[in-house]
Amino acid sequence: MSDSSYRLAVILASTRDGRFGPTIAKWLAHHTDQRPEIEVDVIDLAEHPLPANLSSSPGEEDRAALAAVTPRLRRADAFVVITPEYNHSYPASVKTLIDWHRDPWQAKPVAFVSYGGLSGGLRAVEHLRPVFSEVHAVTIRETVSFHGPWGKFDEEGRHLDEEAGIAAAGAAKALLDQLGWWAVSLREARAARPYMAG
């Protein structure tokens, strides 16, 4: 891995039947694929359901579920959370993921790509920011949000509206530029001075 490359965990938050998240994940992949410095690992929470009951000493079955996710979070230098908005906030699945972990988030950047109705999922994002702050992650300013995206993408995640697609591509560039700076800078800082959470 070069000094400018980094590992990005893309977290697909929705676990609902018929969810739109995989389409948004394909859209994001078109942009990350153009950046050879990014090594992407998609963590789909629908494929990795975590136990709802938190425990400081999980049983064998719970440990097995965590083992499919925890090492991948630890390896990541940065995160993108792809989230819809459910009832004015974010899905329970992503809160469960956060709550089961502490150290993997610390001193690492988190970006958001959201989707939903008129708000485009932005209320979910604003609710997630203080949650990630509590586990000592750094949320970046730039976001991408899709307002009423249903029927506006093809099966490969390409935007059908050229003008809207160009605007979204610009937002993705800004997000990934900023995320890359934070990912590399914080990794260097952690290597030089181990982060001390309070």
Instruction: Report if residue 109 sits inside a domain.
Output: yes
With CA atoms as reference, report the closest residue to 82 among 128, 37, 17: 128
Residue 134 structural domain: 6-53+64-192
Q: From first to last of its 198 residues, what are the pLDDT tens digits of the chain?
A: 568 899 999 999 999 999 999 999 999 999 999 999 999 999 999 999 998 888 888 888 889 999 999 999 999 999 999 999 999 999 999 999 999 999 999 999 999 999 999 999 999 999 999 999 999 999 999 999 999 999 999 999 999 999 999 999 999 999 999 999 999 999 999 999 999 886
Instruction: Report if residue 58 sits inside a domain.
Output: no
- Count the domains in the chain: 1
Instruction: Report if residue 1 sits inside a domain.
Output: no
**Encoding tokens for residue 191?**
């290597």
pLDDT of residue 128: 98
181: enclosing H helix or E strand: helix 162-192
Question: Residue 126 sits in a domain of what CATH number?
Answer: 3.40.50.360
What whole-number distance in Å separates Cα of residue 119 and Cα of residue 126? 11
**Encoding tokens for residue 9?**
């965990």
Instruction: Report if residue 90 sits inside a domain.
Output: yes
Instruction: Report if residue 145 sits inside a domain.
Output: yes
Contacts 24+ apart (CB under 8 A), 160-169: 168/27, 168/144, 169/31
